[in-house]
Amino acid sequence: MRAGLNWYFVKQRGLRFNAEWMHFNHSPVGYTAYPTPEKVHLNLGLLYLSQGRQDEAIAEFRRGVEINPKFWRGHYELASALDKAGRLDEAISEYEVAVPDYKGNAEYHYRLGLAYMKDQQAPKAREHLSRCQELAPGSENASKALDLLKMIP
């Protein structure tokens, strides 16, 4: 897929550009290069999120994981967007699909533990928040996880 074609997809969706969009691999939002169609949808979803267009971002993440069901980053970003939208059941399902690539990632366990906590699933919340602490002791997420663990009965 040619880079020009990717810009066409982005432009067709009415997204605004600035210098940040020109450097995908160095972007603070985490855009990736476009070698595969599912990554095009990932990047579009991230762009939509940065513009506050949450429903459109969720739709793009879904398209990406429909193209490649083993696209773990797509599932992770979809889960995060669904969680922020308050759609906890869907978010938890997507987080669970992403586990093969994220089981050693402290932020993943923090987010999934937090989603379980919001969904009032204390044992699972405790499991993932504790795992976050094990993976990254002393990190900001581990500190937040510890505070949340104190709130679980």
pLDDT by residue for the chain (153 residues), tens only, comes to 334 435 545 555 555 544 344 334 434 445 555 568 899 999 999 999 999 999 999 999 999 999 999 999 999 999 999 999 999 999 999 999 998 888 899 999 999 999 999 999 999 999 999 999 999 999 999 999 999 999 988
Same domain, residue pair 37 and 108? no
Same domain, residue pair 68 and 5? yes
Same domain, residue pair 1 and 51? yes
Cα(153)–Cα(132) distance, integer angstroms: 18
Same domain, residue pair 18 and 28? yes
Same domain, residue pair 87 and 118? no
Domain that holds residue 129: 104-153
Same domain, residue pair 68 and 87? yes
Q: Are 102 and 131 in contact (CB under 8 A)?
A: no
